[in-house]
Structure 1
């Protein structure tokens, strides 16, 4: 049986060499312009991620959620650390919190306007997680944990995932919101909402992982 596979592989190899696929005729055709027109927003990358390949993006969000659950699971049997490492000198604290403020502002900007300019939900979530990480290395773990529980961040993270999946399923079913005016803040149908939900999910998920590593390892 293995000879059949070998012969088939050799035949396929020579087929690719002797009969290359003809180049498609794309005269007067721009993929970027087509994507922008279909999505109703100027950011073609966001159109691909949250519209043309939305099915893939759903599973990317799910995989990120599973990764957070995995961090909890793998560290659940470890003994919490008694030593916590963080900045103590005033200069480092001021610089880290200044950086956290800038990262938080960038996160909000990317989440709200990511469909109009370079950026988007994942980039916004990473910026938000960076802001949280900078605050974590300058604050006590008890204070960070208290804020996390007070604002019920874990609940909001799960809710954002559920809403994202529901909106994505509705979009994949062919039901779309009006695209609005090209270039306007409220445009692109459901894309801005998906951007914000992804940003919330990634930022809060990063916060959860940071707290876990601080608790069980004493550092990030």
Structure 2
């Protein structure tokens, strides 16, 4: 049987030498440039996620929402942890909070300018969730929970999902805002708003999961 594999490999090698694949003629315009022209934003990745494959992105947001609800549901019947593991030494606390500030600023930058440069809503939400996690491991869990409830973070998370779905359906129906000037901050129609909504959703959803794991597991 081994000789069969050896002969098949030799035949494939000879085929590549004797019959190379024909080289297709280069396109006058690259795919990235075509996507940028259609979406009105320089970041072709954002154009693909929030325009060419917006239908898939809707369900990605919904799946993330279901994952958050699932974490709350699975841990709801467990006994809260009596021990919360956090940083206690001053250098670690200072470094963690400094990292939280940097991550938060990066998240805001990615959410606002993600359609112009590498980045976008999902990466902005991850940066925001990282900032919240760094604050959580250096602060009181009761303080984090009070802020979460005071600012109604759960409500804002649900509103961001609903608004994203509504705007996505409108876009899929063929209704789009003017793209504006390519490369400008306000350009690309609804794409900048999609980035901001996804960033809010991912960051606040990460906050909810962090609080659940701190309460029932005692650590992140």
TM value normalised by structure 1: 0.89
In 1, distance between residues paired with 2:65 and 2:111? 19
- Which residue of 2 is the match for residue 12 of structure 1? none
Instruction: Report the CA distance between 1:164 and its aligned residue.
Output: 0.2
The answer on 1:205 being equivalent to 2:205 is yes
The answer on 1:215 being equivalent to 2:201 is no
Secondary structure of the corresponding residue to residue 98 of structure 1: helix
- Which residue of 2 is the match for residue 64 of structure 1? 64
Where structure 1 has 5 or more consecutive residues not aligned to the other structure, the ranges are 1-21
The answer on 1:96 being equivalent to 2:73 is no
In 1, distance between residues paired with 2:54 and 2:72? 28
The answer on 1:137 being equivalent to 2:137 is yes
The answer on 1:50 being equivalent to 2:50 is yes
Secondary structure of the corresponding residue to residue 135 of structure 1: helix
Instruction: Report the CA distance between 1:144 and its aligned residue.
Output: 0.3
Let me know the Cα RMSD of the aligned residues.
1.5
- Which residue of 1 is the match for residue 13 of structure 2? none
Length, aligned pairs only: 201
Secondary structure of the corresponding residue to residue 80 of structure 1: coil
- Which residue of 1 is the match for residue 168 of structure 2? 168
In 2, distance between residues paired with 1:135 and 1:102? 12
The answer on 1:192 being equivalent to 2:192 is yes
In 2, distance between residues paired with 1:91 and 1:202? 29
- Which residue of 1 is the match for residue 3 of structure 2? none
In 1, distance between residues paired with 2:199 and 2:134? 18
Instruction: Report the CA distance between 1:29 and its aligned residue.
Output: 3.6
In 2, distance between residues paired with 1:184 and 1:155? 32
In 1, distance between residues paired with 2:85 and 2:116? 40
In 2, distance between residues paired with 1:142 and 1:28? 59
Please give the per-residue CA displacement for 1:22-78, whole angstroms capped at 9, x wherever unaligned. Answer: 987653242111101001110001000000000000000000000000000110110
Q: How does 1:77-116 map to 2 (within 5 A)?
A: 77-116=77-116
- Which residue of 2 is the match for residue 18 of structure 1? none
The 1:89–1:27 alpha-carbon spacing in structure 2 relative to 1, beyond 3 Å, is closer
